[in-house]
Amino acid sequence: MEALSLEQKLADSYEAQRTKSIRMEKYELALQEATQSINLGANVTKDQIEGDSQFDYWADKVEAVTDNIDRSKELIGTTVQKLRNAEVDIEHEIKRQEQKRLNTQRRNMLRLFGPMIFNNAALKYLQLSAIFLLAGKCLALASPFILKCLIDSISAVSISKFGTAIAGFGAAAATKAAATGAAAKVATGVATGVAAKTAATATAAKAAGSTVAAAAVKMGLWKVSIGVLLFGASKIASTILVQNHVIQMTKLIQEGLERVSQRAFSHLHELDLGFHKQSSSRDSVFAINRALRSLDSGLRFFLCFFSGMIVESAFLATAIGWNCGPIYLLNMVATMGAYIAFSYQKAQERMEIVREKKNKEKVQEIFQGESIQNYESVKAFGTESFERKRYDKITSSVKDQAIEGQRTLTELNIGQDVIFYSGLTLNLLLSALQ
């Protein structure tokens, strides 16, 4: 009640100051008109009695009145500026009191609804949800490292194949040289059996090397296959665990809202007959259902989306700081901070535009209904063109608001992409320079 009374006092003071400002502006206009009349009269008097001895006397009078008018203008300007400053101060004070009142309401709501939603029955859902969330985010974070090991294994297998081919080529060249030397000896008639033995030994060595290389390649392919399966399994398991976290949070929210709804329903029946006669029961029920939907949306956003984003960001920051270094971590934090700040600013701007667009659409609907309901009056007085001009003005404002909303959405999307890809490009440049 004290906040409301202070707000009422500020509003009354604002209206009084505004009324006084309007009066001073009217007084300023009147003085301007009087100045013009006096200047006009002075010119006429000068033309009529030029050369008269009384002209200097009237000229001094006019000059004195003009000086008074100038001083009055300065005083009025100063007063108007003070009133405008007071108006701005009053608006700021009203906003501050409104924000204070909203903060008080939020704290009261947390004290009232907190024990109803987060009680002992909700503890098991919180525990299961935390386990699912941490496990799912750990697997999501581990999947890129599994992919890294997989790519390294594929590279190792390719290098092994290349080395095997080079070794086989060398063995063939050695065999050919040995056979040539042995043939030369046969030609001289020294060692025919030596040539046959050397060729057999080289063939056996080549076969043994090929067998070992094939076993190594086969082992590398098995590692690659296991890595592919682990990567796919980690992504699938991460999705399943995170969705189980969402299910547990949904159970917690719905059971809490059920308790709140039952408490509100019982409270309505506990109220006396005077309350239901003085206020509309239908409006009370509508307000309760709307509050329940708002609680549902807020809790879903915080428990299902925001909590997961916080946990994943913490894991990601730890991994980047541990594996890449503080420079990459600082860049990531700066990018996320700029992204969040920009998104919040544009979201606040879009909220005002969307609210204004809805208000103008309501005005358009109301005008349509009233104009069609008063069809006979419009036709009787022949004001179709006037009604059409008014409607065109309303539709033009609705169109402008829709275009403005899309413009801000485009700026939001472009700004978010610029911030994100700028941070990514900087990290890539840092890794390339290192």
Q: How does pLDDT run across 165-187, given as a tens digit for each residue?
A: 444 444 444 444 444 444 444 33
List CB contacts of 213: < 8 A, sequence separation 6 or more.
160, 163, 164, 167, 168
Of 247, 246, 249, nearest to 126 by C-alpha is: 249
The pLDDT, as a whole number, for residue 2 is: 44
CA atoms within 13 A on the CB side of 266: 6
Only one residue has tokens 């796919």, namely 232
Q: What is the pLDDT of residues 90-118, one digit of tens each?
A: 888 888 888 888 888 878 877 877 888 88
The tokens describing 207, both together, are 């076969």
Rounded CA separation 427/430 (Å): 5
The pLDDT, as a whole number, for residue 213 is: 45
CB 292 within 8 A of CB 261: yes
The tokens describing 268, both together, are 């309505």
Tell me the pLDDT band of 30, cut-offs 50, 70 and 90: low
Rounded CA separation 76/74 (Å): 5
- Tell me which of 169-178, 367-376, 379-388 is least confident: 169-178
Is pLDDT of 238 > 50? yes
Mean pLDDT of 207-222: 51
CA torsion through residues 159, 160, 163, 164, sign: negative
More confident residue, 146 or 173: 146
List CB contacts of 341: < 8 A, sequence separation 6 or more.
none
The pLDDT, as a whole number, for residue 24 is: 65
Mean pLDDT of 334-345: 92
Tell me the pLDDT band of 17, cut-offs 50, 70 and 90: low
CA atoms within 13 A on the CB side of 85: 6
Is pLDDT of 224 > 80? no
Instruction: Write out the DSSP string of 316-383.
Output: HHHHHHHHT-HHHHHHHHHHHHHHHHHHHHHHHHHHHHHHHHHHHHHHHHHHHHHHHHTHHHHHHHT-
List CB contacts of 382: < 8 A, sequence separation 6 or more.
none
Mean pLDDT of 345-366: 88
Mean pLDDT of 146-152: 77
Is pLDDT of 325 > 70? yes
The pLDDT, as a whole number, for residue 410 is: 93
CB 129 within 8 A of CB 306: no
Rounded CA separation 254/257 (Å): 5
Burial 206-229 (b: 16+ CB within 10 A, else e): beeeeeebeebeeebeebbeebee
Of 262, 284, 266, nearest to 275 by C-alpha is: 284
The tokens describing 102, both together, are 């909203």
Q: Which of 222-231, 240-249, 311-320 has the highest mean pLDDT?
A: 240-249
Rounded CA separation 393/206 (Å): 91
